[in-house]
Amino acid sequence: MRSYPGLLVRDVRLGSGLCAIAGLFIAATSSGFGVSLDDRNTCLIAGGALGLAGAFLLLLPWSRMTRRALLVPPALITLTLACLGLSTVSVAQSFLACLVLVAVYLGLTQPPGTIAFVLPALAGAWWTAFPSHPTSVLVSLPLELAVWLLVSELIARSTSRARRESDELLNSSLQDPLTRIGNRRVLTRSLTGLAPGSLVMFLDLDHFKEFNDRYGHAAGDDVLIQFAAVTTKVLREGDVVTRYGGEEFVIVLPPDVPGHQVYARLKRAWDEAGGPVSFSAGAARRLAEETPDQTLARADAALYRAKTGGRDQLAVDQVSTYVSDIPVQVRHSELDDPDFGVTDVLQWAKTPPTNAWGARRGEPETAPT
């Protein structure tokens, strides 16, 4: 099935089908009793062209268009009826029911009020179907306009309300109700399409249970909301931040983002915001040969090392580390050693020593400042 991001597949197919049905209706009706040969040929050509145009609509690059592009199908039908009214003798009157279908389609695919801008075109197509323009036509035209307006607006308002409720339901299913950031469903979706090298970072507020017990759950909720807001502000548009559960958060970042810089920016912003508790972090990068869940598990394991190693620090996974993930002061201390070159740093990033922070071999582990 062809995909049309930004537009509903149903709307694209509905517009194509509407043109095909109107074209078939015009071509089939033209063979009726009393239709001249010239009018019959004109209707066959017009109906066939409209049907082919409907099929061609499926080939257009809808992903790069706005919803207003869906006005093309009703415009084609209206134009076809106007041409038939101008080039045939009284045959176009048989096809005016298509204008009701146009009004229905506009109500299904466009926002309320759109029909008001389209009514002049519909009225023009309807007017050309009556070459002699008798008085009865002048009387019935306002009634036709009222019917088209009423039908289209009722459908448009109902459809708009249904879409709004559907969007709200979808947002609520993907949003953490307390912090208003993504929930675990959003995390699952993000992990599903995780590219190799992407960074997954687990965040956990330190001593949050003690804070809750001392100041109450309302104060604890305020801390969670504040931390989510600070994290969202620090990250770039397109980066993913989710609440994993309790006081745990997970962020997912593209491969070009240095892990230690993300942690440093977030820590600085949290301190400036007056965060009442510190937080620990564990980071891991997706390996090409592993599943996203395995990457998440390694980030969780790194977080555990950060928590057991004294909290208020970042622990980097030892399997998938990039040089850019290593805290700058650690890399500089290694590079000061004349026996330790850039090649060794690159190798360390792939297979670092047991020390989570990359302190000199044989020296005790140190946490970043």
DSSP 34: T
Amino acid at 149: L
- The whole-angstrom separation of Cα 183 and Cα 1 is 30
**Which residue among the candidates 144, 153, 247, 334 is catalytic per the annotation?**
247
- The whole-angstrom separation of Cα 87 and Cα 49 is 15
Residue 286 tokens, joined: 């997706």
The region, left, alpha or beta by phi > 0 then psi within -120 to 50, assigned to residue 34 is left
Contact 78, 115 (CB under 8 A): no
Length of the chain: 369
- The whole-angstrom separation of Cα 12 and Cα 18 is 10
Contact 286, 201 (CB under 8 A): no
DSSP letters spanning 297-311: HHHHHHHHHHHHTTS
- The whole-angstrom separation of Cα 163 and Cα 83 is 36
- The whole-angstrom separation of Cα 30 and Cα 43 is 6
Cα-Cα-Cα-Cα dihedral sign, residues 188, 193, 196, 201: negative
Does 247 participate in catalysis according to the annotation?
yes
Amino acid at 369: T
Q: Kindly list the catalytic residues.
A: 247
